[in-house]
Amino acid sequence: METRVCLITPESLAWAKEIIEKGGVVAMPTETVYGLGSSAFNDAAVRKIFEVKGRPNNNPLIAHVHETYDLSQIIDYDPPYAQKLRAAFLPGPLTLVYPSKGKVSPFVSCGLDTLAIRVPAHAGARAFLKKVGVPIVAPSANISRHVSPTSAQHVLDDFDGKIPLILDGGECTGGIESTVCDCTGEYPVILRPGLITREMIEKVVGRCDEYAPDLENPQQVKSPGMLYKHYAPRCKTLLFSQKNVEQAILRYVKESQENKGVAVLCEEKWISEFEKIGAKCLNLGKNQAEMASRLYKLLREAERFCDTLIVVEPQESDGIMTGVLNRLRKACTSQDV
Ligand code: AMP
Ligand code: MG
């Protein structure tokens, strides 16, 4: 199959709609990362997403809709605090999990009686969702466990020849996946941290908890995606905390004696330390938003030439850095975890 990368135009949108209606898969941009989309109402199309990504079949998908879509068609209950969250943050990088009406394919939520819904803000995603008019399940458009894609080229790198169309909406600005927030209880609970932070949600609805999965009891994990190693570049990664920069420098020296492809990924303030020893540096940036938006791009860049990537964890851990550190630590666990 030939994979075409097309800018978002009336023609490419009409073709995208045709593919979706025939049960096919289309990659689309969002403000967080690129997604691999198919109709949430079509069993075979939903299964195709799992197949083409190599996604474990117990990791549920998020349904994406345009802001004008009538949610009561697919959700069973809409708590008042969810209405407040939608008014405050949507369209935007926040996914809300509701009790499902069971109208979408059972493969979407992998047997759970809930449904995760997101309303993206990206103009290209909105045009596509409006055009197709049905909920589109769209996990990140990467081979499962690989680094999420933030450009059409990243999607092509993983799926060339496997899907017919990639809608090219430029580089994603947000950089990490949406915050996933459970709205089936008395108050919202964050299942996956992201660009909409706990503090931001608390300001709107008063209380918001953060879910800590019990890894000893995987059956009881609310959001199965939390269990998996994710976001990993195809090279060895070694993660050092801020306190251990000296060790990171020593390790860089040792690794570069053994391998040709060694680089350091760190926030801007450490770059000069590493440059003193002639290290190849990938600059994560100097503030939280920059670090979120560059993370995946730099991990993908690193794997192109690195045997070993030395990573120094950013210092801040509040706000959106909760989400950035969550992704970075998952990317840097040893390859066989
Ligand atoms: P991805 O599509 O790769 O961004 O991953 C989607 C995330 O949303 C995963 O962490 C899933 O576990 C989570 N998710 C999707 N649907 C549900 C649901 N119904 N309940 C809880 N978590 C969900
Ligand atoms: Mg993903």
Question: 29 by DSSP, 3-state: which?
Answer: coil
Give the rounded distance of the alpha carbon of 196 from its chain centre: 13
Distance CA 165, CA 161 (A): 10
The arithmetic mean of pLDDT across residues 259-267, rounded, is 93
What pLDDT does residue 335 have? 41
What pLDDT does residue 337 have? 31
What pLDDT does residue 219 have? 56
Q: What percent of the chain has pLDDT over 90?
A: 89
> For ligand 1, which residues put their CB under 6 angstroms from it?
59-62, 97, 109, 112, 114-116, 139-140, 177, 180, 191-192, 222-226
CB 190, CB 208: distance < 8 Å: yes
Ligand nearest to the CA of 100: 1
Ligand 1 centroid to residue 179 C-alpha, Å: 10
Most ligand 1 atoms within 8 A of CB, residue of 62, 137, 190, 211 to mutate: 62
Q: What is the pLDDT of residues 32-46, one digit of tens each?
A: 999 999 999 999 999
Q: What is the pLDDT of residues 39-74, one digit of tens each?
A: 999 999 999 999 999 999 999 999 999 999 999 999
What pLDDT does residue 260 have? 82
What pLDDT does residue 231 have? 81
Which pair of tokens denotes residue 319?
């706000």
What pLDDT does residue 336 have? 37
**What's the pTM?**
0.93
Strand 179-182 to 189-192 pairing:
antiparallel
Q: What is the pLDDT of residues 116-127, one digit of tens each?
A: 999 999 999 999
- Which element (helix H / strand E) includes 202? helix 198-205
Distance CA 263, CA 259 (A): 11
Hey, whose CA ends up nearest to atom 1 of ligand 1? Answer: 139
Hey, whose CA ends up nearest to atom 2 of ligand 1? Answer: 139
